[in-house]
């Protein structure tokens, strides 16, 4: 199984800040990575797929990138509605696996 | 618009069975691969099962293999998950989700249904 190591597990930030979250798979997944946002009591919502493609309707302050085998989600100019938990997910092979999550909290 | 609504959750005892359903609307259900996920209280997301458009391909996580069965009724636009031999660690919110075609990423999710396994 492909293990997804996500960091940090939590981050405190202020409105307007830029937040960066990293995901490192245990083996090469090409660009088969997605990022999801989840708010308390709600289902996850897809933000980014195949590493850097923005899902329709998602604000452009969210971006995804890849450097070698590492993946990054960047949230620029953090907005109040962005305080949530973020997960990466690999789709290179089954079982589909997620990172442990990053909780973005208000500083 | 795409809508997925899970149902069938509830409180069951260890060793019992339960079936979940996911009613789909707003899209051509028969053309999409679907999956079930779950999230234990306070924990992260876990993928548990996957089914192709015509049900010719199915996958399961090791944690549920041999106990859970995924199925679909394209005429009724219904995705199902039959769960046997339930254990306390199956306690979770269960979500169904619709795959983006040809890539195993999920752009639409239901609100989830809570399954609690406790004596």
Q: pLDDT tens digits for B19-34?
A: 999 999 999 999 999 9
Query: Is A91 strand, coil or helix?
Result: coil
How many CB pairs below 8 A link A and B?
Answer: 57
Mean pLDDT to the nearest integer, A23-45: 97
Q: In sequence order, which residues have a C-beta less than 8 Å from that of residue B6 and are 6 or more positions away?
A: B20, B21, B22, B94, B95, B96, B110, B111, B112, B113
Mean pLDDT to the nearest integer, A27-42: 97
Q: Which of B47, B100, B110 sits opposite A95 (nearest CB)?
A: B47
DSSP for residue A103:
E
Query: Is A82 strand, coil or helix?
Result: helix
Q: Would you call A71 an interface residue with chain B, using a CB distance cutoff of 8 Å?
A: no
Strand segments, DSSP code E, in chain A are 4-7, 10-13, 19-25, 33-38, 45-49, 53-54, 62-67, 70-75, 85-90, 97-98, 102-106
Q: Which of A26, A35, A39 is nearest to A80 (CA)?
A: A39
Q: Are B30 and B55 in contact (CB under 8 A)?
A: no
pLDDT, block means (10 residues), chain B with 119 residues = 98 98 98 98 98 97 98 98 98 97 93 98
What distance in Å separates the CA atoms of residue B42 and residue B75, rounded to the nearest whole number? 36
Q: Which of A84, A76, A73, A93 is nearest to A24 (CA)?
A: A73
Does A46 contact B44 at a Cβ distance shorter than 8 Å? no
Does A100 contact B44 at a Cβ distance shorter than 8 Å? yes
Does B45 contact A42 at a Cβ distance shorter than 8 Å? no
Q: Which of A68, A63, A42, A40 is nearest to A53 (CA)?
A: A63
Does B47 contact A44 at a Cβ distance shorter than 8 Å? no
């Amino acid at each position: 199984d492909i293990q997804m190591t996500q960091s940090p597990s939590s981050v405190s930030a202020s409105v307007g800040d830029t937040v960066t979250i990293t995901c490192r798979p245990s083996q090469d997944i090409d660009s088969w990575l997605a990022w999801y946002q989840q708010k308390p009591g709600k289902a996850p919502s897809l933000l980014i797929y195949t590493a850097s493609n923005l899902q329709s309707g998602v604000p452009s302050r969210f971006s995804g990138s890849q450097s070698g085998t590492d993946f990054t989600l960047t949230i620029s100019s953090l907005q109040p509605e962005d305080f949530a938990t973020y997960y990466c997910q690999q789709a290179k092979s089954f079982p589909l696996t997620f990172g442990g999550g990053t909780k973005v909290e208000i500083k | 618009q795409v809508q997925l609504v899970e149902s069938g959750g509830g409180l069951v005892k260890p060793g019992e069975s339960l079936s979940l359903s996911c009613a789909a609307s707003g899209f051509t259900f028969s053309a999409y691969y679907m999956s079930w996920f779950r999230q234990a209280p306070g924990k992260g997301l876990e993928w548990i099962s996957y089914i192709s458009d015509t049900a010719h391909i199915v996958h399961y996580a090791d944690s549920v293999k041999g106990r859970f069965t995924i199925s679909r009724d394209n005429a009724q636009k219904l995705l199902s998950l039959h769960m046997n031999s339930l254990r306390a660690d199956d306690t979770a919110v269960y979500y169904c989700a619709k795959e983006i075609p040809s890539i195993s990423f999920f752009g639409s999710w239901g609100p989830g249904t809570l399954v609690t396994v406790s004596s």
